[in-house]
A and B are shown apart, each in its own frame.
Chain A
Amino acid sequence: MSTNDTAAPILSARGLHHSFGQTEALRGIDLDVHAGEVLAVMGPSGSGKSTLLHCLAGVLVPDGGSVTYRPAGRSAVETSALGEPERARLRLSDFGFVFQFGQLLPELTAADNVSIPLLLAGTRRPEALRRSRDLLERLGLDGLGAKLPGELSGGQAQRVAVARALVTSPAVLFADEPTGSLDSLASENVLTLMLELVREAGTTVVMITHDARTAAYADREVIVRDGAIGAGYRVSA
């Protein structure tokens, strides 16, 4: 773990509250994530862990409390106070996302799927494709760049999703059950490769999982229970 305990956390949530209608999803969450840390967020279904991830990643604006993001070499920004266009820009430039079911575009090849975030950020197509193919190779998918997602196995498709999330070298990777749809062996393969890349790059990871074996790849874990961090779990590393 490359966590520096003396440095300010890269992400801090304070007093997060959020409700969906009458349902309180988050009830006053405080959480720090340190740069380079791989944090697993565990908890039962409906405990609020996905809502927490969405608030940390600037997908959702919490009803109460704040989220502060401190990028290296730039000023800290309270993401929960930004409007949607600013948050969208920040997500594109600084964050990467992996979801349970890859969510690849079925009509695009693997390499084109991986290129999307680069093209959106203004990289020229030949350069975007070159970087995508390099990354696919690092993930053991050399020669599969021209395949459509439907032609790939579940594990291969999820590795394409990981490549797409990491191709912009994000500061923070948010992963929501990244291997939830895979069998044990494929899951282990995806996690090992993903964490090798993020640890090498010093990427911070916030990973939601209900699976203890997946969480064991992280540096530490917190449990979210009824919208709050479980007693006995430290808010900070």
Chain B
Amino acid sequence: MNNSLTLLGLLSRGPSYGYDLKHSYDRYFGAGKALAFGQVYSTLARMVRDELIRALGEETGGGPDRKKYEITVAGQDRVRAWLFTPDVPSESLQSELFAKTVIALLLDDDAERLLDVQRSEHMARMRELTRLKRDAGLLQVLMCDHGLFHIEADLRWIDLTGARLTQLKKELQSA
């Protein structure tokens, strides 16, 4: 997740203090991993430098949290470009699990076992996320679902690879 653009997106709603932005971020996206104040202020400083936002003057007696920021037209354009640019689906085709499976087969080791071990780990995480959903608000449910569907996709790969191990081994050993 791109923290800078997410903060910029939050700032598109209207002028805000760094302090309020950080709490807004944590409320929507910070489950299990709140954003550090230092990171918020360094990001804001960078965006001021890049003219994506501007400071609206400092209030007296203030450290950085007394500064209010507003998004510029260039900033608004950046947010809209970000929103409507699709993400690259699955950036890497070669995961660690893919490498482990191939090495296990090349070493004539138990690839099925390593897939089962991984499947078990994936299922444990899915149970955890499913439990989290039980008493959660819709926002957290949505976040858990995102995780669940991604893990499920990995599991499908594991299932399919498990069913193809014999054929895969033959191919690797004849290569």
- Give chain A's interface residues, CB within 8 Å of chain B: 44, 192, 212-213, 215-219, 221, 223, 225, 230-233
Q: Is the CB of B123 within 8 A of A215?
A: yes
Report chain A residues within 8 Å CB of B123.
212, 215-216, 221
Q: Is the CB of B119 within 8 A of A223?
A: yes
Report chain B residues within 8 Å CB of A233.
116, 120
Q: Is the CB of A212 within 8 A of B116?
A: no
How far does the Cβ of B133 sit from chain A's closest Cβ, in whole Å?
8
User: Which 7 A-B residue pairings sit nearest by Cβ, starting from the closest?
Assistant: A216-B126, A232-B116, A216-B130, A212-B155, A212-B152, A216-B127, A230-B116
How far does the Cβ of A207 sit from chain B's closest Cβ, in whole Å?
13
Distance between Cα atoms of A44 and B122 in the complex (Å):
17
28 A-B pairs whose Cβ atoms sit less than 8 Å apart in the complex: A44-B159, A212-B122, A212-B123, A212-B126, A212-B151, A212-B152, A212-B155, A213-B148, A213-B149, A213-B152, A215-B126, A216-B123, A216-B126, A216-B127, A216-B129, A216-B130, A217-B127, A217-B130, A218-B127, A221-B123, A223-B116, A223-B119, A230-B116, A231-B112, A232-B116, A232-B117, A232-B120, A233-B120
Report chain B residues within 8 Å CB of A217.
127, 130
Binding site of A, secondary structure by majority: helix, strand, loop or mixed? loop
* Interface size in chain B (residues, C-beta < 8 A): 22
* Nearest chain A residue, comparing its CB with the CB of B116: A232
- Give chain B's interface residues, CB within 8 Å of chain A: 110, 112-113, 116-117, 119-120, 122-123, 126-127, 129-130, 134, 148-149, 151-152, 155, 159, 162-163
Distance between Cα atoms of A231 and B122 in the complex (Å):
16
Report chain A residues within 8 Å CB of B151.
212
Known contacts A212-B123, A216-B127, A221-B123; 8 further A-B pairs (Cβ under 8 A): A44-B159, A212-B122, A212-B155, A217-B127, A223-B119, A231-B110, A232-B113, A232-B116
* Nearest chain A residue, comparing its CB with the CB of B162: A225
Could you say which of A217, A223, A232 has the most chain B C-beta atoms within 10 Å of its C-beta? Answer: A232
How far does the Cβ of B161 sit from chain A's closest Cβ, in whole Å?
12
How far does the Cβ of A229 sit from chain B's closest Cβ, in whole Å?
11
Q: Is the CB of A213 within 8 A of B126?
A: yes
Report chain B residues within 8 Å CB of A218.
127
Distance between Cα atoms of A48 and B154 in the complex (Å):
24
Report chain A residues within 8 Å CB of B134.
192
Distance between Cα atoms of A218 and B152 in the complex (Å):
15
Report chain B residues within 8 Å CB of A216.
123, 126-127, 129-130, 148
